[in-house]
Structure 1
Amino acid sequence: MTWEPLLRLLWAGNQETVDAPGGHLAGNIGHGGWSLPLPQRFPPPDQVLLVDEKVDEAVRRVLSALTDIGLDDISFVAEISPTGTTTLHLLTAGVAVDGGSGPYPGALVLIEGAVAEPWRRPPNPTPGAVPARSADPALLERTLRERIPDAIGATDAEIAAAEARLGIALPDELTALYRVTRARWQDWADDDAAARRVSDAVGLLPLSLDTLSIADASSRPCPWEFAAMEAVVTPPDAAVQGLVGSPGWIMFAADDYGDQYAVDLTPGPRGHRGQIITLSHELDIGAALIADSLTDLVVHRRESEHPDHEEDRSPVVAHVNRRSLTSVEAAAHPDLEVLSIGDWDSAPLSLAAVTGLPRLRTLAADHGTLADPLEIAELTGLEFLELAPEEWRILLDAGKVPRSLSAAAIKAHRPRHPLPIVAIANELLTLWERPPIVRRIVEGHLTPEV
């Protein structure tokens, strides 16, 4: 049996858990990684933490079977009696499930292709935006030719081809950069030193002209359960719009850490057209200004002194808990989009104060924080809702699940049994006629690992 070696190992390492009432083993195995209920074993300080060879071999056996049937990953729940009688539940999530944590399903995408509102938000028009006074394409090109005289520049035809592919005209400074170097590895004969000379000359290693891309919202994918908690906020003195991405962000460089650098043609209220911004690999939304122009960055080595804005997104995003706002009434505001309620040990809260707010689209509430979960039905603009299984059960039984939802999530903390969570997930998916999580059952008998 494909699963037998792994289940025996997990049983041996979780004997008390399995033997307890309702005891079970659950996890997830996929080609991108695996999550298993194994006791952590820490090596001596001077040794590296290694995966047990028997576990590694057992996991590889399952991965091989997944490859044979064309699956990327699978979740499982095993119920094992003290005598070894075993029921193995194999769970396969379809296209309607967006990720997950171990055996628990991630967000349920109820509308095919739906993305959270920040990922749909276009940039605000900036008709009055102009290049910074420091922008000087001629100086930029002249300086780069002096620094890298042997570089191979792009032809007019190559630049025109890149513009046609991107669907946007390159700004003059970016054109000047690529007239000096088209930044192709073939031109450097795969010579790291040649690439380093270009990087030193520019201050960043530019992408090749052939791989320029638009850093729009689709270039920063994010699971629904996190994306729905974000919000686009652009203060009136911001140099950069607080977007996920923009059709006017031309990504022309990236560093070894995964940060991206773009020329910004859709700046914020206090920004300049053609300014240089960076998109952090650690953030799903927003960008930071690093230079008012490419000339400033390359020629003058001058980075922006424009202050970064704090991450405070109130009143658009509100957290009600013991350390933040202490009432739903305090969170209520006409601009409120995202309301999160959790870490709460006082009396359950009413949602009456936020009923009717025009922009409220996300509600996430921990178990027991709501005085009456049926009040959720009055929030007619919700596109995302995250609740514990108990609150979902109340809404489902009453037929009050908001039909405005595009996605939903079931907040399940370990050590909850995954199968009731999967059952609720499938009820929600059925309401929207979406593909369910498929459960297959395999029964057998295990003997303890010797």
Structure 2
Amino acid sequence: MPSIHEFTTWEPLLRLLHAQHAERLAVPGGYVTGQISRGGWSVPLRRKSPPPGRAAQIEDMQDEYDAVERVRTALADSGLAAISFVTEAAPAGGAVLHLLEPGPAVEPGIGGPYPGSILLVEDAVAEPWRRLPEPVDGAAPDPAADPALLERTLRERLPDAIGATEAEIAAVEDRLGIPLPEELKVLYRVTRARREDWGSKYEKADQVFDAVGCELFSLDGLYIADASSRRCPWQFAAMEAVVTPPDAAVQGVVGSPGWIVFGDNGGGDRLAVDLTPGPRGHTGQIILLSHEENIGAELLAASLTGLVLDGESEGEGRRHRREQPAVAHVNIRGVSSVQAAAHPALEVLSIGVWEGEPVSLAPVVGLPRLRTLSAYPGTLADPLEITELKGLEYLKLGPEEWRVLLDADAVPRSMLAAGITVHGERHPLPVADLADELLALWDRPGITRTTAEGSL
């Protein structure tokens, strides 16, 4: 198999692209671009519509599928997660292919050829991922938690289950570095939930689901849902804020050393025992970590006893989504102005699509907690006002705004990561050049480029 950098690897895909976009590529400066990753691809090819009444199938796009799979195989062989490409018409006929590899200091773009977040400081994570739960004075188990009743109930529901030994439980505690709460120990003393214990009797797994209320992990499958277990691209992570109101049962953190995951709801959401509850919560309460959320959790039951005996209770929502004061979205449908967003607690300011005059950042200068600014291209009256924001960790701007800061040698050096917002269609190579300029300021490795040319 040719390597990912060889023209022959891409030739079938380039034939399709150049055939469909012949007029565009014939114009001086014309190009076609896309992205391919191990998990999917985004290439500008028109597909045939399936016959009426039938869903689209691979056969309807077989040429595209085969051409892309050739590239994805080479991508996997190279050890790369994703690659972007630009193709142009060669002066003497054929095609020119430009390949862009993000490298270790750039996250892959999402659904397009442009770079994702630019990682200026190695291994740095967004502020919410550095936050630990706050100690809560007086936190205690729910009064209705009853390990003895829990054990009797589970043994009645699972009379033939094989339970874990005390040595097996102790080994898990050593691995996790934390003692298991008594209710969780009781659960695994009744059943260790190992697939090999059930053999081919799949109804045994259904019995456990019905008895406990979730797809129970085996004892060896328990893990701590700390912040590192909840990975998130910088461009989303930087826009989050940890908020735990005084009446919250669950702390609004990304993860906690006291969240012990023990099961799944069958839809990809994880159940955990919470040993670090919010101000109105209970130690040992059961929470749900949604796979669609980056931060926070939903209260399911005040205890494992309550979950098993009574099922899910009416708990609080997954998050206390308060746009203000910690996070403000200034746009035509959100917060009305930067002035209205200004608050001592403001951490994240996003300036989106705006119909009025470009805005000034003067109202938020000096705010002690402001760490993220994302401004849609053309929305800032004076990009150099950014130099007055002393605590920025993440800054996302359009290419023109970045150009102003770079030319003035005014890029904030407090940043840990950065992003480039591309409005409309732009040639990816100048955008990659801009990303490399930012990376060079921190002596970080740039985007790798490869150019190949061949006949079609």
The normalised TM-score by structure 1 is 0.95
Query: Which residue in the other structure is 1:439 paired with?
Result: 449
2:380 matches 1:370: yes
CA distance in 2, matches of 1:405, 1:170: 39
Comparing 92-101 and 37-46, the one that deviates more: 37-46
Superposed CA deviations along residues 277-299 of structure 1, whole A, max 9, x for unmatched, are 00111111110001011111102
- The within-5 A match list for 1:325-404 is 325-404=335-414
Structure 1 residue 6: Cα displacement = 1.2
Give the Cα–Cα distance (whole angstroms) in 2 for the partners of residues 31 and 333 of structure 1.
43
SS of the equivalent of 1:105 reads: coil
> How many angstroms does 1:443 deviate by?
2.3
Q: Pick closer, same or farther for the CA change 1:359–1:305 going to 2, 3 Å.
A: closer
- Given candidates 405, 416, 422, the residue that maps to 1:412 is 422
Query: In terms of mean alpha carbon deviation, does 407-416 or 73-82 score higher?
Result: 73-82
Deviation at 1:40, TM superposition (A): 4.3
- Aligned residue number for residue 84 of structure 2: 75
Contact map agreement 1:18 1:81 (CA 8 A) in 2: no
Deviations 1:367-415 (A, max 9, x none): 1100000111111100000001111111111100000000001011342
- Opposite residue 397 of structure 2, the aligned amino acid is L
Is 1:188–2:198 an aligned residue pair? Answer: yes
Identity of aligned residues (%): 62
CA distance in 2, matches of 1:302, 1:89: 54
What is the aligned partner in structure 1 of residue 222 from structure 2? 212
Contact conserved, 1:321 with 1:342, CA < 8 A, in 2? yes
- Whether the 8 Å contact between 1:78 and 1:87 is mirrored in structure 2 is yes
Give per-residue Cα distances to partners, 1:268-315, cap 9 Å, x unaligned: 010000000001111111100010111111023352445666522311
* Map of 2:162 onto structure 1: 152
Structure 1 pair 50–274 and aligned structure 2 pair: CA distance change class (3 A)? same
- Offset of 1:425 from its aligned partner? 0.5
Contact 2:298 2:316 in 1 (8 A): no
Which stretch has the larger CA shift, 408-417 or 128-137?
A: 408-417
SS in 1 for 2:310: coil
Q: Give 1:291's aligned residue.
A: 301
The aligned counterpart of 1:60 is: 69
**TM-score of the aligned structures, taking structure 2 as reference length:** 0.94
Take 1:407 and 1:189, find their aligned partners in 2: how far apart are those partners? 49
Q: Of the candidates 90, 113, 125, which is equivalent to residue 135 of structure 2?
A: 125
Q: Give the structure 2 partner of residue 19 of structure 1.
A: 26
Query: Residue 431 of structure 2 aligns to a residue in which SS?
Result: helix
Matches of 1:316 and 1:213, distance apart in 2: 31
Contact 2:209 2:215 survives alignment (8 Å): yes
1:175 to 172, 185, 192: 185
Q: C-alpha distance in 1, partners of 2:226/2:317?
A: 24
Give, in whole Å, the separation in 1 of the partners of 2:75 and 2:352: 38
CA 1:50–1:17: 2 relative to 1, 3 Å: farther
Output the CA distance in 2 between the equivalents of 1:53 and 1:61.
Answer: 12
The DSSP-based 3-state class of the residue aligned with 2:168 is: helix
Change in CA separation of 1:335 and 1:384 when aligned onto 2, cut-off 3 Å: same
Distance in 1 (CA, whole Å) between partners of 2:317 and 2:289 is: 16
Q: Does 1:197 align with 2:204?
A: no
Compute the displacement of 1:441 (Å).
1.3
Choose from 50, 62, 86 the match for 1:43: 50
1:232–1:307 distance in 2 versus 1, CA, 3 Å: closer
Gap change, CA 1:392 and 1:308, over 3 Å in 2: closer
> What runs of 5+ residues in structure 2 fail to find an aligned partner?
1-7
Distance 2:102 2:317 in 1: 44
| Equivalent of residue 240 in structure 2, options 216, 230, 237 | 230
The 1:333–1:18 alpha-carbon spacing in structure 2 relative to 1, beyond 3 Å, is same
How many residue pairs get aligned? The number is: 446
1:94 matched residue in structure 2:
103
Consecutive unaligned residues of structure 1, counting only runs of 5 or more, are none
Moved more, 244-253 or 412-421: 412-421
Instruction: State which drifts further: 371-380 or 304-313.
Output: 304-313
Please give the root-mean-square deviation of Cα atoms over the aligned residues, in Å: 1.6
